[in-house]
Amino acid sequence: RAYEEQMLGLAVEQAVVNMTARCPQTRDLKIFAVSVVVQKETGGNLAEILENIATTIRDRYRFHAKLRALTAEGRVSGMVLGILPIGMMALLAIINPSYLSRLFDNPMGQLIFVYAAASWLFGGLWMARMSKVDF
């Protein structure tokens, strides 16, 4: 579409800015657009600029892949720790239902269950927050 805008007489800078406006969530496209606009205004070697941008984008993707690999252990640990209490309750309900019924029949057991559920939820949210990396 940017090509079509240029063919209709729109300046290259404006076509690139319009392209970026259509995809505002793409950082790599923003880097490209800013570089093209600055190069058009100030001059310089466009091929070298685009080569540097391509290298930067490739390096960013490699970094994201490495970061994902490094945080995989934390994510899997969080999933296992999140599923473990539910699995244990299901196992106890199958193996010895009377043992688990004390938790729900007794008011103190209900209070303990609510506390445990709240702690489990808080811990799960905390683990998710810790293993998420924002850029």
List pLDDT tens digits, range 62-102: 998 998 888 888 888 888 988 999 999 999 999 988 888 88
Would you state the pLDDT for residue 58?
A: 93
CA–CA distance, 100 with 93 (Å, rounded to integer): 6
Task: Quote the pTM value.
Answer: 0.58
Q: What is the DSSP string of 99-135?
A: HHHHHHHSHHHHHHHHHHHHHHHHHHHHHHHHH----
For the chain, what is the mean pLDDT?
Answer: 86
Would you state the pLDDT for residue 16?
A: 81
CA–CA distance, 87 with 123 (Å, rounded to integer): 16
Residue 135 confidence class, pLDDT cut points 50, 70, 90 = low
Would you state the pLDDT for residue 107?
A: 92
Output the 3-class SS for 48-69.
HHHHHHHHHHHHHHHHHHHHHH
List pLDDT tens digits, range 103-112: 889 899 999 9
Helix axes 46-95, 107-131, angle to 10 degrees: 160
